[in-house]
Amino acid sequence: GAGVSQSPSNKVTEKGKDVELRCDPISGHTALYWYRQRLGQGLEFLIYFQGNSAPDKSGLPSDRFSAERTGESVSTLTIQRTQQEDSAVYLCASSFLRGEQFFGPGTRLTVL
């Protein structure tokens, strides 16, 4: 079946604008994760969804970041009033509850 997909693949925005990043997980995967990967760095955990609930939002860097998941499927990560330090690749992953995390291709966000 299809893997995890994300859109857009690239996003260039101006400082101060809001952006929405979308993740479509593998069908049937109950868990969904968002990570941020800065250039040359490892993956930084942002938030975890189990179904439509987010038991752990501890990785969100500030209150400008929020995420939601609907229908136990698609998830949207929203960044308000973007800053240059938000520039990174945002990766989504999904899994069964205890299974391997499968990653999407990521959205490369550039804030000018």
Partner 1 sequence: GENVEQHPSTLSVQEGDSAVIKCTYSDSASNYFPWYKQELGKRPQLIIDIRSNVGEKKDQRIAVTLNKTAKHFSLHITETQPEDSAVYFCAASMYVRGSNYKLTFGKGTLLTVNP
Binding site for partner 1 (CB under 8 A): 4, 31, 33, 40-45, 48, 50, 55-56, 91, 97-98, 100-106
Closest distance to partner 1 from the beta carbon of 70 (Å) = 19
Nearest to partner 1 of 72, 80 (CB atom): 72
For residue 62, the minimal CB distance to partner 1 (Å) is 17
Query: Mind giving me the DSSP string for 48-108?
Result: EEETTEEEE-TT--STTEEEEE-TTS-EEEEE-S--GGG-EEEEEEEE-TTSPPEE---EE
In 3D, which of 6, 10, 21, 15 has the Cα closest to residue 102? Answer: 6
Rounded least distance, CB 66 to partner 1, Å: 19
For partner 1, the closer CB: 67 or 91: 91
